[in-house]
Amino acid sequence: MRLKFVPPLMPTLVEKPPEGEGWIHEVKFDGYRSQMIIDAGGVRIFTRRGVDWTAKYRDLVKAAGELKLESAIIDGEIIVTNEAGLSDFAALRKAITRRQHDLYFVAFDLLHLNGHDLRDMPLEDRRQILVGMIPTGGRIQFSQALQGDAKSIFHLIDQAGLEGMVSKRRDSRYRSGPSTNSLKAKCYAVGEFELLGVEREAGKPAFALMGEIGTRKYVGSAFINSSREIRERLWKRVQEHAGPAPKGMKRPATQWVKPGLIGRVKHLRGEEDLRHASLQDFRERLEALCGELGCAPCALACCSSQRPSI
């Protein structure tokens, strides 16, 4: 009889990791949450939504077969690492189709083993069994617990450029769906995006609608919480650059702008689109500024040093 996919336990997003001895802290990897099922019929790998992606992970399926287990359900993350040893989501997509040998499965929980349902066991016990099953140095790795207090661990994770950390209650049982027994605290990154428009409604916060630089593909909105002076200058510049809405976009109370304004945005690290984002500053793209001044775009120091910083 084949084992069935188990909907995963999903951590709750929090601003800060929990303190105290009752928690296990792990790195939050930037990859695809996946479930590995091993039974008499072979190895299968599912996405977090239960889609069978076994055919996409040939090397990992082979590595799982070498574990010599009768049956198991393992919860984990499929990742690719960059030169610095950090999980790289952009590289992951390419590796799935072109470089299978770069894929790793990082295991962090064990739901089933050799005919036994382990979900009612405390997390700490499940992980103790799991670590003993996984040999070192292979394509399947164990997610080690991080030592130290939560605040210090989070600081080091942020400094290392990692996505964040996950904290789990040591004595918790495994239950599918959203859970407060598992908490994720994510780090922030700062990046530049093209300003598509500003959404303002009376009595509500104002938001900057942002897109990829060059393509203007919408990636999300950023809360405008900068100083009053910057907000007023931004609105003045938006009115001066008023333009049509990007193709396919319809948003109420939005003043759209022509290409040329670049926003500096603080946002959660490791997300495909902007989340918990805020606009920190903005500037005009050099090419647009040169066009207004009537000169050819250039890379001279005088231009780069005299860009408007608003």
Q: pLDDT tens digits, residue range 45-75? A: 999 999 999 999 999 999 999 998 999 999 9
Same domain, 155 and 78: yes
How far is residue 236's CA from residue 233's CA, in Å, rounded to a whole number?
5
Q: Model confidence at 286, in pLDDT bands (50, 70, 90)?
A: low
User: Of 186, 215, 234, which residue sits at a domain end?
Assistant: 186
Please tell me what DSSP assigns to residue 264: E
The answer to the question of residue 18 being in a domain is yes
- Summarize pLDDT for 105-162 with one digit per residue, the tens: 999 999 999 999 999 999 999 999 999 999 988 999 999 999 999 999 999 998 888 8
CB 189 within 8 A of CB 267: yes
Distance between CA atoms of 25 and 182, rounded to whole angstroms? 10
- Residue-wise pLDDT tens digits, 153-192: 999 998 888 889 999 999 999 999 999 999 999 888 889 9
Q: How many CB atoms lie under 10 A from the CB of residue 215?
A: 9
What pLDDT, on the 0 to 100 scale, is given for residue 108? Answer: 97
Residues 202 and 280 in one domain: yes
Task: State the Cα–Cα distance between residues 162 and 84, nearest whole angstrom.
Answer: 11
Q: What is the pLDDT of residue 247?
A: 82
Q: Is the confidence at residue 89, as pLDDT, over 80?
A: no
Burial 133-172 (b: 16+ CB within 10 A, else e): bbeeeebbbbbebbeeebeebbeebbeeebbbbbbbbeeb
Q: Does residue 135 share a domain with residue 47?
A: yes
Same domain, 35 and 143: yes
Decide if 212 is inside a domain: yes
Q: Is the pLDDT of residue 290 over 60?
A: no
- Find the domain containing 52 and state its range: 9-186
32 in the same domain as 169: yes
192 and 55 in a common domain: no
Q: 160 and 228 in one domain? A: no
For a pLDDT cut of 90, what percent of the chain falls above it?
A: 53
What's the rounded Cα separation, in Å, for the pair 42 and 203? Answer: 58
Whole-number Å distance between alpha carbons of 149 and 25: 9
Q: Which of 186, 208, 238 is the endpoint of a domain?
A: 186
Q: What angle do CA 290, 294, 299 make, to 5 degrees?
A: 35
Which residues, in sequence order, are CB contacts of 283 under 8 Å at separation 6+?
261, 262, 264, 307, 308, 309, 310
Q: Tell me, yes or no, whether 238 and 294 share the same domain.
A: yes
At residue 301, the pLDDT reads 40
How big is the chain by its Cα radius of gyration, in Å? 24
pLDDT tens figures, 218-247: 998 899 877 777 788 888 888 888 888 888
Q: Rounded CA gap, 170 and 154, in Å?
A: 18
Residues 236, 115 share a domain: no
- Give the span between the Cα atoms of 157 and 161, in whole angstroms: 7
**How many whole angstroms separate alpha carbon 66 and alpha carbon 64?**
5
Say yes or no: 225 and 123 in one domain.
no
Full-model pTM: 0.73
Stretch 206-222: mean pLDDT: 90
Q: What is the mean pLDDT of residues 28-56?
A: 95
pLDDT score for 168: 98
Give CA torsion, residues 52, 182, 272, 76, to 10 deg: -40
What average pLDDT does range 264-268 have in this prediction? 88
Domain total for the chain?
2
CATH number at residue 61: 3.30.470.30
Helix, strand, coil content of the chain in percent (nearest 5): 25, 35, 40
pLDDT at 126: 98
81 and 230, same domain (yes or no): no
Per-residue confidence (pLDDT) for residue 287, from 0 to 100 = 53
Question: Are 32 and 88 a contacting pair, CB within 8 Å?
Answer: no
Domain boundary among 186, 217, 244: 186
Between 104 and 231, the more confident residue is 104
User: Is 271 inside any structural domain?
Assistant: yes
Distance CA 196, CA 300 (A): 27
CA–CA dist 309, 264 (Å, integer): 11
CATH number of the domain that residue 258 is part of: 2.40.50.140
- How confident is the prediction for the chain on average, in pLDDT? 87
Indicate if 19 and 50 belong to the same structural domain.
yes
